Amino acid sequence: DAGVIQSPRHEVTEMGQEVTLRCKPISGHNSLFWYRQTMMRGLELLIYFNNNVPIDDSGMPEDRFSAKMPNASFSTLKIQPSEPRDSAVYFCASSWGTDEKLFFGSGTQLSVL
């Protein structure tokens, strides 16, 4: 298995632009998580899906952030408009059921100038 696949690995954009991060979970996993990691705040859960349905989005910082999971093999996290304080590493992770053994992707390093 290729593991959790995220794209792009790096994204540099200007303030105000739309950013879309993509994730392909491990086949067979039915829970998907989006995390953000910064030096100041560590690893924060933004949103998670179970069976493609958003279960908890309380970590989404603002309405500028949105996430979708149209099918079991694909999810997106969108930021519109982006701001410099959104600069961070964004991780996608997946797991089987309520077993919290998360498998993480390699992350997307986002820089908003």
Q: Where along the sequence are the contacts to another protein (CB under 8 A)? A: 4, 42-43, 45, 56, 91, 93, 98-107
For the CB of residue 42, give the shortest distance to another protein in the complex, in Å: 4
Q: How far is the CB of 26 from another protein (least distance, A)?
A: 12
Q: How far is CA 112 from CA 21, 42, 83, 89, in A?
A: 13, 19, 6, 12
Quote the least distance from Cβ 81 to another protein, whole Å.
Answer: 27
- Residue 52 near residue 67, CB atoms below 8 Å: no
Write the Ramachandran bin of 16: left for phi over 0, alpha for psi from -120 to 50, otherwise beta.
left
Closer CB to another protein, 7 or 81, in the complex: 7
Of residues 16 and 61, the one with the C-beta less far from another protein? 61
C-alpha gyration radius of the chain: 13
Pick the closer one to another protein by CB: 4 or 21: 4
